[in-house]
């Protein structure tokens, strides 16, 4: 059951529900938006393909926090490298360049918290309607598309994706 009556009102989003997009080679479901949380945060559940990495980027408007539910993810946040497994939490403050790569053969399952909210819409605008269940076909990120949309969200694409180490 989904409860949502007005902006800032209590709401719930059941498992498997929310606005879903194929964003690059990943499947992302927005569970909460800035509109629903009075601007407080956006929350995104992601299934990220093994070997996948977004380009190095920076957020100017929000902090980005990651909770790894499944898989092994290597994060680069500023000069710090962090290897995170299930249950790990990683904080990427605004204005600090960051990226990550899913290591190994297992896909990753993540929760991403954007504070304050608003940045979650970037994934929806840069993504596409899922053509079915599961992940989209594998492939490199469409950096040109990301660079085109990033400024509207206070983001900058700074460099290439990470390469998995195995």
Please, what are the domains in the chain?
32-129+147-159 (2.60.120.10)
pLDDT exceeds 80 at position 159: yes
CA 154 to chain centre: 15
**Contact, 27 vs 82, CB < 8 A?**
no
Q: Where are the beta strands (DSSP E) in the chain?
A: 3-4, 11-12, 19-23, 26-32, 42-48, 57-59, 63-70, 72-77, 80-84, 89-92, 98-103, 108-115, 155-157
Residue 15: pLDDT band (50, 70, 90) is very high
- Residue range 25-41: mean pLDDT, rounded: 96
85: its two tokens = 């497994």
Which pLDDT score, from 0 to 100, does residue 9 have? 85
Which pLDDT score, from 0 to 100, does residue 57 have? 97
Which pLDDT score, from 0 to 100, does residue 8 have? 67
- Residue range 139-154: mean pLDDT, rounded: 91
pTM for the full predicted model: 0.91
pLDDT exceeds 90 at position 5: no
- Residue range 132-137: mean pLDDT, rounded: 93
Burial 73-84 (b: 16+ CB within 10 A, else e): bbbbbeeeebeb
- Residue range 144-166: mean pLDDT, rounded: 93
Q: Tell me if residue 122 falls in helix, strand or coil.
A: helix
82: its two tokens = 């962090």
Which pLDDT score, from 0 to 100, does residue 2 have? 46
Pairing of strands 57-59, 89-92: unpaired
**Contact, 19 vs 13, CB < 8 A?**
no
- Residue range 127-131: mean pLDDT, rounded: 94
| More confident position, 5 or 134 | 134
pLDDT exceeds 80 at position 7: no
Question: Could you give the CA distance from residue 53 to residue 163 in angstroms, rounded to a whole number?
Answer: 7
Which pLDDT score, from 0 to 100, does residue 140 have? 83
Q: Name, in order, each residue with C-beta under 8 angstroms of 69's C-beta and a sequence gap of 6 or more.
A: 86, 108, 109, 110, 111
pLDDT exceeds 50 at position 165: yes
77: its two tokens = 């946040």
Q: What is the pLDDT of residues 95-126, one digit of tens each?
A: 999 999 999 999 999 999 999 999 999 999 99
């Amino acid at each position: 059951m989904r409860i949502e009556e007005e902006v800032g009102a209590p709401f719930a989003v059941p498992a498997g529900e929310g606005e879903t997009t194929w964003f690059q080679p990943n499947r992302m479901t927005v569970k909460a938006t800035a509109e629903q949380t009075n601007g407080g945060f956006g929350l995104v559940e992601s299934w990220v393909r093994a070997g996948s990495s977004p380009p190095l980027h920076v957020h100017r408007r929000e902090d980005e926090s990651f909770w790894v539910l499944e898989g092994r993810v290597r994060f680069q946040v500023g000069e710090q490298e962090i290897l995170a497994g299930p249950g790990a939490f990683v904080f990427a403050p605004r204005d600090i360049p960051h990226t990550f790569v899913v290591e190994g053969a297992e896909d990753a399952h993540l929760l991403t918290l954007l504070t304050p909210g608003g940045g979650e819409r970037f994934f929806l605008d840069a993504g596409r309607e899922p053509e079915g269940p599961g992940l989209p076909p594998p492939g490199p990120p469409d950096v040109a598309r990301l660079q085109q949309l990033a400024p509207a969200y206070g983001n900058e694409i700074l460099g290439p994706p990470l390469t998995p180490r195995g």
